[in-house]
A and B are shown apart, each in its own frame.
Chain A
Amino acid sequence: MSGFPILSLMLLVPLAAALVCLFLEAKAARWLALAATLVDLALGVVLWLNFDVGGAQWQFQESHALFAGFKYALGIDGIALLLIMLSVFLMPICIGASWKSVEKRVGEYMAAFLLVETLMIGVFAAQDLFLFYIFFEAGLIPMYLIIGIWGGADRIYASYKFFLYTLLGSVLMLIAMMWMVNTAGTTDIPTLMVYDFPAQAQTWLWLAFFASFAVKMPMWPVHTWLPAAHVQAPTAGSVILAGVLLKMGGYGFIRFSLPMFPEASAYFAPLIWGLSMAAVVITSLIALVQDDMKKLIAYSSVAHMAIVTVGLFAFNTQGLEGSMLVMLSHGLVSGALFLCVGIIYERLHTREISRYGGLAINMPRYSLFFLLFTMASIGLPGTSGFVGEFLSLAGIYQASSWAAFICTTGIILGAAYMLYLYRRVVFGPQNNADAAAMPDLDAREILMVLVLGLSVLWMGVYPESFMAPMRSDIAALEARIARAAPEGDAKVTAGHAKPAHEDVSAHEGAH
Chain B
Amino acid sequence: MDWSQSLRLIAPEETITVAGLVLLLVAAWGGDKASRLISILASVVLVGAMVLVAPALCGQAMGPETSAFFGQFKADAFASFAKILIYGSAVITLMLAPRYFERFNSMRAEFPLLVMFASVGMGMMVSATDLLTLYIGLEMMSLASYVMAAILRNDGRSAEAGLKYFVLGSLASGILLFGMSLTYGFAGSTSFAGISAGVSGGLSNGALFGIVFMLAGLAFKISAVPFHMWTPDVYEGAPTPVTTFFATAPKVAGLGLIMRVLLDAFGDQAAAWQQIIVFISLASIVVGALGAIGQKNIKRLMAYSSINNVGFILVGLATATQAGASGMLVYVTIYVAMSVAGFTAILMLKDENGNYVEDVPMLAGLSRTRPAIALALATVMFSLAGIPPLFGFWGKFVVFQAAVQADMLPLAFLGIAASVIGAFYYLKVVKVMYFDEPADVVKGESDIWHKAILTIACVFISPLGYLLTSWLGDTANKATTALFAAL
Contact = CB atoms under 8 A, between A and B. Distances in A.
Contacts, number: 87
B404 interface: yes
A145 interface: yes
A472 B434 CA distance: 46
B475 to A, nearest CB: 11
B400 A174 contact: yes
Q: Which of B388, B419, B474 has the most CB of A within 10 A?
A: B388
A133 interface: yes
A438 to B, nearest CB: 30
Interface string B345-388: 00000000000000000000001100000000000001000011
A168 B424 CA distance: 11
B473 A69 contact: yes
Contact of A69 (B382, B387, B401): B401
Interface in A28-67: 66-67
Interface stretch (A92-100, A158-166, A282-290): A158-166
Given A160-B427, A179-B409, A168 B417 contact: yes
A178 B469 CA distance: 17
* Interface of B: prevailing SS: helix
A137 B388 CA distance: 6
B467 A134 contact: no
B456 interface: no
A175 B404 contact: yes
Nearest to A138: B389
A179 B401 CA distance: 8
A182 B397 CA distance: 13
Interface string A108-125: 100000000000000000
Contacts of B417: 168, 171-172
B405 interface: yes
Interface in A169-186: 171-172, 174-175, 178-179, 182
B412 A68 contact: no
B101 interface: no
A216 to B, nearest CB: 15
Interface residues on chain A, size class: 20 to 34
A163 B423 contact: yes
B465 to A, nearest CB: 10
B8 interface: no
B404 A134 contact: no
B472 interface: yes
A155 interface: yes
Nearest to B470: A68
Contacts of B405: 178, 182
B434 A163 contact: no
A242 to B, nearest CB: 22
Interface string B414-440: 001101100110010011001100000
B469 A171 contact: no
Contacts of A159: 431, 435
A164 B420 contact: yes
A174 B403 CA distance: 12
B466 interface: yes
B434 A149 contact: yes
Contacts of A299: none
Contacts of A179: 404, 409
Interface residues on chain B, size class: 20 to 34
B435 to A, nearest CB: 4
A164 B424 CA distance: 7
Interface string A231-254: 000000000000000000000000
Nearest to B419: A171
B434 A148 contact: yes
A67 B388 contact: no
Contacts of B472: 68
A423 interface: no
A172 B467 contact: no
B213 interface: no
Contacts of B397: 69, 130, 174
A142 to B, nearest CB: 11
Nearest to A163: B427
B387 A137 contact: yes
B424 A160 contact: yes
B404 A140 contact: no
Nearest to B466: A67
A135 B388 CA distance: 8
A167 B469 contact: no
B69 interface: no
A138 B387 contact: yes
Contacts of B398: 69
Contacts of B87: none
A182 to B, nearest CB: 5
Closest 10 CB pairs of A and B: A68-B469, A134-B388, A68-B473, A178-B404, A68-B470, A171-B416, A148-B435, A168-B420, A138-B389, A137-B388
Interface of B: 367-368, 382, 387-389, 393, 397-398, 400-401, 404-405, 409, 412-413, 416-417, 419-420, 423-424, 427, 430-431, 434-435, 466-467, 469-470, 472-474
10 contacts: A67-B466, A69-B398, A145-B430, A156-B435, A164-B420, A164-B424, A171-B416, A171-B420, A175-B409, A178-B404
Interface of A: 66-69, 105, 108, 130, 133-135, 137-138, 140-141, 144-145, 148-149, 155-156, 159-160, 163-164, 167-168, 171-172, 174-175, 178-179, 182
